[in-house]
Structures are given as structure tokens and as C-alpha cells.
Amino acid sequence: MLIALIPVLFVVFTPASDEYQLLVETRLQTSIVNTVVLLGGVGLLSALFGSTAAWLVSIYEFKGRKLLSWLLMLPLAIPSYILAYVFVDVLRFSSPIQTVSYSLLGRYLNPMSLTSAIVLFSLGLYPYVYVVVRSFLSRQSATMFDAARLFGVKRVKLFVGYGLPLMRASIISSVVLVLMEVLSDYGLVDYFGIVTFTTLIFGSWFRFRQITTALRFSLWLLVIVFVVLGAERLFSNKKRFAYATTKVRSLRRMRLTSAQQTGVWIYLGGLLLIAFVIPLIQLFIWASQTYSISINPNLGQAVLATLAVALLAGFSILVLTIILANVGRNRPKLMETILLRITLFGYSVPGAVVAVIMLLLFQRLDAAVDVVAMSVFGLPRGLFLSGTILMLLSAYVVRFMAIGYQSIESNYQKIGTNFTNASYLLGKGKLATLWLVDVPMLLPGMASAMILVTIDIIKELPLTLVLRPFNFNTLATLTFRYAAEEQVAMGAVAALIMILLSSVVIYVISRPRKDPRYGR
């Protein structure tokens, strides 16, 4: 990835094309404004939804809390572009919601506006904030909250005055993940006709076939990414919290009255209803209307293609991350840090940028293969690697390696080095130790990494759209193709399969596990 960035930087020093100049004059200002508004709006709204939901299920005890704490993660199973397809239909001109809106406000709601995009992104991505903040709160001491209750601090003040400052670092770090997803999105903004840097990158390639123009806009997008990451580091480094004693008591949830429980259920249930239940119902309605024609060989091929690339890329990432984590483990801390930064870099870069970089890299590789073929065989090879499954799989590996690496590395930290060192003392080599000692103990982390990577690849749209071979469709691209052809209902079955796979993964990862040491 870093090697591929070198020729990208040289694009700055090459003359700009007429297409790039045209897009700069007509679309650049609009894309900057739209991107900034999207990032600001989605960041604030997803932080509000995610932090309040995490606070309520972590601090308070009410009926159905355990079930609701898991259900609130399910909106993550629905890609943002599918939410867009659903709500454009739900808010169609003749819908009851539009009738009520006109009666109360004197105007109809615009389901394809920038405001609608902000709301839909926030509904689909708030689980990132929810999961991170809930995990943070689960590790907090009860001392501060008990003291606040003792002094009669009201519930709202407890959240605003105590909770938000405490959760600030976790909220900021999780919001950055949300913003990375917004910057990477193509399906929703393209469907709504919102001009962003991602749509300019795709337009440069799909309409003009200008890779240098796409690379120039990729550099603009990279600048925004680095600004977001820099802001996150600046704000999250301001304050640090630590326990003042080793005697840490776990949180005791405060009980709510019946009226308060009703209010919590209205808020959290409403959030879940809009973000997950309504889209799911609408997709089932569409599927019931179109299943007789949408369940066809194309769907079967898309399912097989999706599973094939997801499993192949997932296995490749698994092997590479185990090797990298093992190398970093046996080297000084500096090496481990460098490896972590390299793997995290690909996940920080939007999918559209990764796609363009991989296109350029494989064009250079094809040119090198062509030179060798001419000198050895006297025949040109043409496009030998570009447009193949190999290019798509390589892009997946670059984009999602960070997910696998973090999972494997965290498991390496848990198992320590005692068993590995004992194996070395018994005369086993590094490869034998890795296979016989490390891998068996890493199996839980390997399974978690494989599941997480696989589900992200199943939902991935921008990378697959650009790099897929000719006449190759995954579930994501098939759903997008139907929407582009104004046949949204035809893609409902494919969308439901994606959501089902994602929901199963969310359950497997987040289900309560018994601790064998304590039997609970």
C-alpha cells in the first residue's frame, strides 16, 4: 500500500487534464461543502445516538435491558445504501408520512436531501459509537457514580456533567470510525445525487476513464482523512483518566421507575424501529413481491462469488496477520508499532482511494510483465493481472488487514510468551512453534478475525464496483445494480441475505459468554 502511494504523489507534478479542470471549476467547491457538512452532521448525530444508548443500557437497570443491549447493534448489519433505498420508498410522495408532514409543516419532506443522508448515515453507523462507549462504561468503577448519587445529582446532570467528560475519548475514537465509513461511502451519496469526493473519484473513472484525475481527487480525500485523524489525536490526548486505587468496584445499575422505563423503551425502541425494523419489514415486502423472478441464477452466482472472495480474502488476511503479529512479537517494541501503523493505514484510507491506488499499481505490474514477455517470448501479454480476481483480493487484503491484525495481536497479548519460550527451549524452531503452540491458542482470535473480515467484505461496495472482473457480481454490487436500474425491489432478496449474514456475525461476536473460572 505504501509503495503504491509513491507514484500517486507524483501525480501532483504532472499536468492536470481538461476533465480535472472542468470538475474543479464546477464540482470541487460543492464537494468540499457537502463533505464537511456530512462529516459534521453525522459525527454529532451518531455520537448522540450511540452515547445515549450506551449510557442507558450500562448505567440503568430496566426490563428487557439485556435483549435491547444486543438488538441495538443490529443496524450495523444494514449497509447505508440499503437504508437509503428503503427510506426513499417509505417517504414517497403518496406515503402517510408525507401527508402528515404537509399538514403540519406545509411542505413535503425531501427523502434524498443532504439532511436525509446525515440522518440515514447516523442511524446506520451509530452502533460503532454504541459498542465502543458501552465497552468503556463496562470497565468503570462504581465509586464516582455512587458519590454522585449520594450528593443527589440528577440523572441528566449525571450524564452531562460526569458521563460525557468520562466518555469523551471513547466517543471521539468511535466517531472517527463512523467518519471513515462516511468518507468511504459511494452507494448512498450516489443514489441521492450528493456530490462528494468519492463520487468525483468514481465519476472520473467510470465516465472519463481518467485514472490521473481520479488520483488527484483521491489526494484531496486523503488530506481530509489525515485532518480527521489528526483532530482525533489532538482531542483525545487532552485528558487521561486512571483509577486512584486498586480496589475497583464494578458498576451497579440504577433501577428506573415504570414511567422512566417506558421513556427509555420509547427512545431506544424507536431508534431500533427506524434503523432496523422498518427497513427489514420493507425488504421482506419487496422480497415477497419479487422472489419468483429475483431468485435466479444471477442471485446464486452472486452468493457464491460473495462467499468465495470473502473467504479467500479472509484466509489470506488471517495468514498474513499471524505472520506479521508473530514477527512483531519477536522484535523490539518499535517494530511492533511500525507493523501496527502499516496495517492500520489501509483501513484509514477510503475504499475508493484504495481502489484507484490498486488500479495504478496493477497497471504498473502489467507493464512490467509485458516487458518481460516481449523480451523472453517476443509476444505482448497485455492486461495480465488487471481486471482479475487477484487484484480484487489484493485490495480487500490492504483495506481490511487492520481488523484481522488487531484481533490476532490482542490474543497474542493474552497468551503471553511463556509457552512459546518453552517450545524454543525444547528445541523447536520458529515455524514449528508457530504451528504447534501459537496457532492452537490463537484459534478463538483467528475465528473472530475471520468472521469480522468476512462480513466487512460481504458488505463492501466501492472497492468491488471498481475492481471486480467483467460480469462478476457480489451481493452488494447486485443490489446496487438493481437500484441503479430503478429496480430496487429486485435487489431485496440479495439485501436480506447480506443482512442475515451480518446479523449472525453480530450475534456470534456479541453473545454473552460464560467465564469458566466463575461459572457465569
How many structural domains comprise the chain? 1
Distance of CA 63 to the CA centre of its chain: 31
Domain assignment of residue 96, yes or no: yes
Domain assignment of residue 332, yes or no: yes
First CA to last CA across the chain, in angstroms? 44
Domain assignment of residue 15, yes or no: no
C-alpha span between 513 and 448 (Å, rounded): 14
Q: Give every CB contact of residue 503 below 8 A, 6+ residues apart in sequence.
A: 74, 77
pLDDT value, residue 519: 40
Beta bridge partners of 60: 254
Beta bridge partners of 250: 141
Distance of CA 426 to the CA centre of its chain: 43
pLDDT value, residue 340: 59
Beta bridge partners of 255: 61
Domain that holds residue 60: 2-8+20-240+253-510
Distance of CA 394 to the CA centre of its chain: 18
Which CATH number fits the domain that encloses residue 271?
1.10.3720.10
C-alpha span between 73 and 509 (Å, rounded): 11
pLDDT value, residue 45: 95
Domain assignment of residue 520, yes or no: no
Q: Are 49 and 131 in contact (CB under 8 A)?
A: no
pLDDT value, residue 44: 94
Sequence-ordered alpha helix ranges (H) in 107-152: 114-138, 143-150
Distances (CA, A) of 174 to 197, 229, 334, 515: 22, 12, 26, 27
pTM for the full model?
A: 0.81
C-alpha span between 20 and 4 (Å, rounded): 22
Beta bridge partners of 61: 255
Domain assignment of residue 13, yes or no: no
Q: Which residues of the chain carry a pLDDT beneath 50?
A: 238, 242-243, 245-246, 515-520
Render pLDDT for 397-428 as a digit per residue (tens, 0 to 9): 888 887 777 667 666 766 667 777 788 788 88
C-alpha span between 346 and 321 (Å, rounded): 13
Q: Are 464 and 302 in contact (CB under 8 A)?
A: no
Sign (positive/negative) of CA torsion 88, 463, 444, 406? Answer: negative
Beta bridge partners of 254: 60
How many CB atoms are closer than 10 A to CB 488? 23
- Grid cell 523447536 — which residue? 428
**3-class SS at 141?**
strand
C-alpha span between 375 and 220 (Å, rounded): 39
Amino acid at 479: T
**3-class SS at 60?**
strand
C-alpha span between 312 and 410 (Å, rounded): 23
pLDDT value, residue 374: 75
DSSP state, residue 250: B
Q: Give every CB contact of residue 114 below 8 A, 6+ residues apart in sequence.
A: 34, 37, 38, 192, 194
Q: Are 474 and 280 in contact (CB under 8 A)?
A: no
Q: Are 494 and 475 in contact (CB under 8 A)?
A: yes
How many CB atoms are closer than 10 A to CB 103? 8
Domain assignment of residue 470, yes or no: yes
C-alpha span between 468 and 503 (Å, rounded): 25
The secondary structure of 329-384, three-state, reads HCCCHHHHHHHHHHHHHHHHCCHHHHHHHHHHHHHHHHHHHHHHHHHHCCCCCCCC
C-alpha span between 19 and 214 (Å, rounded): 10
Q: Are 85 and 496 in contact (CB under 8 A)?
A: no
C-alpha span between 248 and 246 (Å, rounded): 6
Domain assignment of residue 245, yes or no: no
Q: Are 125 and 42 in contact (CB under 8 A)?
A: yes
Domain assignment of residue 72, yes or no: yes
The secondary structure of 445-471, three-state, reads HHHHHHHHHHHHHHHCCHHHHHHCCCC
pLDDT value, residue 508: 73
Buried b (16+ CB within 10 A) or exposed e, 287-322: beebeeebeeeebeebbebbbebbebbbebbbebbb
pLDDT value, residue 338: 63
CA atoms within 13 A of residue 31's CA, in its CB half-sphere: 21
C-alpha span between 391 and 386 (Å, rounded): 6
C-alpha span between 464 and 466 (Å, rounded): 6
C-alpha span between 1 and 357 (Å, rounded): 8
